[in-house]
Chains A and B, each alone.
Chain A
């Protein structure tokens, strides 16, 4: 069972991801901010990180840099309300870029795809 870390400052959105991705059979861990996520990564290594960009304090791009600096191979899907960040070259270092939507089909597909690319069993 793959372990996912969801980083988002929106509490209800975190709840949604926990519930929906849990239904998909993933083990979901939640973090409300970049620092909280980095703190978690010190103790455990998820198979995939779903990272929000727009967050107060440390934003997703900064968090991504710090995560990759520690573990270059960490798979990360950027999940944001903006499509504009696609132009930021930093986002290129992420495995995928998914615009937030009430329809989680694309996100779920990307998770599967990335895990598959990395050879991780679902």
Chain B
């Protein structure tokens, strides 16, 4: 924009007459101008060069050089001053003067003398014009400068672009819309093996392979031109006819050049790259084929168990195709939350696992997984794991077949209840995948009527039920153990399948029935196509259907116990030789078990008969024993009573004989204590307190008893020895009662050696028993007494109550222990007591006490459970 109007314009007054100059300046200042003045043309020229003026007021008659016209010419010559308006002051304005002034470049005239107003107005107009002109000139100059700069930049850019284009390895060409070649760079010429002139202005079609320009390249060109977006063509083989072996990547871009649409084509030679890629792809394909051909499922999963990649076998096994375990079953085995899953990713550990699953066909399949971490880059955290899964069903089946037989025999041994046994046998035939038949039937021989009778059947009655059960089993994965446990919870043989066959009964002399023939020949029979097999009767076909089946005899000790029949009606699985062999083995086991059960049932029957008879006897004996005991007690009491009464009367009769009274009273009190002792013994025996078992150190108690008797033994010149087994563990016993046992036995030993001898008290261990041995070298126990020495009131001692050993025996029995005795008259006696070391697990041993009169079992044999209160 021009300088603001408010800024006062500056006028240079050029006038040799100082007075005139002064008056002009004064006038101009009055009119709002700023002024400067000089007296000569040279001075004016110098000032105009250095100071900005908006107007020059020039005396046309300026003396000296340069004169007014020359000055004007000089001013107008300088480009930066040319705009400055010059107003001439002239006394007379002739046409000649006007022509000279305009020719010199002057702008305006004012006649001298002039009216002040005229000067102001004309100076104003002229100075504004000058200013505007100056602004335009400045502007134009600046623009010109800028344009010059741009031109330089453009030149640089052009050079740069040329450098790039010529140094690029990529071949570049520019085409017009008709594919006429406008430009090519050196690499392209090199590639084509042609000179620039042989190419420029030729059509691209001349160089490209037939048909190629028609489609992908043409399309790319059309696409790029149409949309303005570059198009890429990858891996074009033999773009140029002269180089059919080269592979190139192309970028096609539309460019506008001078208003014309042109096409830029950048071609990269990727032949080597493509070859390498092809090699990699071939290797990969080979690997892929191997991976797919592997009889193992492979998959790559991430930390979140998402399957990133899997081989064909994986799809085959775990794809959701009907009849397969399914992907979920697979994923269920690798739960994210598991510690090992974390360590695969965190510690890079390889994890092994085996698992099994039921297919919807009810077959169990076993798999072994190897889960290995896959590290992407060095130092990168592990983000993927490779899972190699192998089908180990075959191996597992072999192992399970072997263990099944063992397990079965255990099961069957434990099962003595006939009904349950039949059911367990058939469960074994159907449930385990070793045999895993769909249906199983058990016929048992009835010896009374010589028939084979259907006794149990296990399996679904319809295909729908079969699939439902299989689905359920595959989701629960129940073991044989669990199935048997369940059977015990719901013990019903009234299965719908059994209802179907329960009426079946075949006479043993009717070999037309396959079941009977199996029994008679004692050989397994496999009928692959019963529908057309003469060995099967129509009735049989109606009941069992037309599926392949196997019939196996159950033979125990040479005689047929029954027949097992099994088939795969629903799954249609073929019955292999293996299955038949296994089922036969199993049939033999089952037969033995059935026989056992029958023997057991008979045994149990006679046992219960025996028991009731025995109970009667025991009751009678109890009554007799009570009478006997009363008589014994009467006798034992009568003797001391008679003695006491007799001496008491004697004292009454002869109170004066002091010496005799004293002796008699002494005997009375002695007999009274004897009575008391005896009563105590009777009480102990008749009403012994229940033992209170506490775990404790048996050695300590034995030592206590030994110490209590050490002195009396020593007085009798008996050499006493104590031998404790320090390795003895804690034993459960009643201390008071065991002490009493020891007192009894030690006292007996002492009494048996009135003339001294040797005494040994020893602890030890024998099997599951802690033992205490009490040995003496005394007189021994007479053989005739030994049989009944543990009965009450049997004694060899003149003053014995005959209760010591009876109480001892009772206490040991209460401890579930055993006591035995070896004695040789004249040589000595050894008592040995065994106490059980362990409290047996409840229920595993008999709870009933042995019947009265049963001889004590040998040491090491435990018979009973310590009662804990009753």
Contacts and interface: CB of A to CB of B under 8 A. Distances in A.
Interface of A: 9-13, 15-17, 19-20, 23, 32, 54, 56-57, 80-82, 84, 99-104
Contacts of B798: 9-11, 32, 56
B762 to A, nearest CB: 30
A101 B650 contact: no
B670 interface: yes
A81 B638 contact: yes
- Across the A-B interface, give the 4 residue pairs with the lowest CB-CB distance, nearest first: A102-B645, A81-B638, A81-B635, A100-B642
B649 A103 contact: yes
B631 A102 contact: no
Contact of B634 (A12, A17, A20, A81): A81
B245 to A, nearest CB: 129
Contact of B642 (A13, A23, A84): A13
A17 B643 CA distance: 9
A70 B174 CA distance: 162
A23 B798 CA distance: 26
A21 B252 CA distance: 156
A56 B796 contact: yes
B344 to A, nearest CB: 86
Contacts of B650: 16, 19-20, 23
A10 B635 CA distance: 12
B667 A102 contact: no
Chain A CB within 10 A, most for which of B634, B643, B795: B643
A56 B636 CA distance: 13
Interface in B628-677: 631, 634-650, 654, 660, 664, 667, 670-671
Interface string B127-171: 000000000000000000000000000000000000000000000
A82 B627 CA distance: 13
B635 A16 contact: no
Nearest to A53: B635
A82 B631 CA distance: 7
A57 B645 CA distance: 27
A85 to B, nearest CB: 10
B639 A13 contact: yes
A60 B177 CA distance: 154
A6 to B, nearest CB: 12
B671 A12 contact: yes
Given A54-B635, A56-B796, A82-B634, A103 B645 contact: yes
B667 A15 contact: yes
A10 B646 contact: no
A19 B639 contact: no
Nearest to B636: A81
A12 B675 CA distance: 13
A10 B647 contact: no
A35 to B, nearest CB: 13
Nearest to A82: B635
A23 B640 CA distance: 21
Given A81-B638, A82-B634, A100-B638, A12 B670 contact: yes
B639 A81 contact: yes
Given A13-B643, A56-B798, 9 more contacts: A10-B639, A10-B643, A12-B671, A13-B639, A20-B646, A84-B631, A100-B642, A102-B642, A102-B648
A102 B671 CA distance: 12
Contacts of A99: 638
Chain B CB within 10 A, most for which of A9, A10, A20: A10
A57 B615 CA distance: 33
B591 to A, nearest CB: 61
Contacts of A19: 650, 660, 664
Contacts of B638: 81, 99-100
Given A56-B798, A81-B634, A12 B667 contact: yes
B99 to A, nearest CB: 191
A9 B639 CA distance: 10
A72 B744 CA distance: 44
Contacts of A13: 639, 642-643, 646
Contact of A102 (B634, B644, B654, B670): B644
B796 to A, nearest CB: 5
Contact of A101 (B637, B642, B670): B642
Contacts of A103: 645-646, 649
A84 B799 CA distance: 22
A16 B639 contact: no
A10 B670 CA distance: 12
A59 to B, nearest CB: 12
Contact of A16 (B631, B636, B643, B795): B643
A41 B197 CA distance: 170
B335 to A, nearest CB: 81
B675 to A, nearest CB: 12
A23 B799 CA distance: 27
Contacts of B640: 10, 12
A79 to B, nearest CB: 9
A54 B796 CA distance: 12
A57 B795 CA distance: 10
B649 A56 contact: no
Contacts of B667: 12, 15-16
Contacts of A9: 798
A99 B641 CA distance: 12
Contact of A81 (B642, B648, B649, B795): B642
Contacts of B797: 56
Interface in B678-692: none
Contacts of B634: 81-82
Contact of A104 (B644, B646, B795): B646
Contacts of B646: 13, 16-17, 20, 102-104
A104 B796 CA distance: 28
28 contacts: A10-B640, A10-B643, A10-B798, A12-B643, A12-B647, A12-B670, A13-B642, A13-B643, A16-B643, A16-B650, A16-B667, A17-B646, A19-B650, A19-B660, A19-B664, A57-B796, A80-B635, A81-B634, A81-B637, A81-B639, A82-B631, A82-B635, A100-B639, A101-B642, A102-B644, A102-B646, A102-B648, A104-B646
A23 B650 CA distance: 10
Nearest to B782: A57
A15 B663 CA distance: 10
Contacts of A100: 638-639, 642
Contacts of A32: 798
A21 to B, nearest CB: 11
A70 B650 CA distance: 35
A72 B637 CA distance: 33
A13 B646 CA distance: 8
Nearest to B644: A102
Contacts of B643: 10, 12-13, 16, 102
Contacts of B649: 102-104
Contact of B645 (A15, A23, A80, A101): A101
B796 A16 contact: no
Interface in B409-428: none
Interface in B540-599: none
B40 to A, nearest CB: 184
A9 B535 CA distance: 90
A42 to B, nearest CB: 23
Nearest to A16: B646
Nearest to B667: A12
Nearest to A32: B798
Nearest to A33: B798
Nearest to B653: A23
A92 to B, nearest CB: 20
Contacts of B796: 56-57
A12 B799 CA distance: 10
A56 B667 CA distance: 22
Contacts of A82: 631, 634-635
Contacts of B664: 19
Nearest to B671: A12
B315 to A, nearest CB: 96
Chain A CB within 10 A, most for which of B645, B646, B667, B671: B646
A93 B472 CA distance: 92
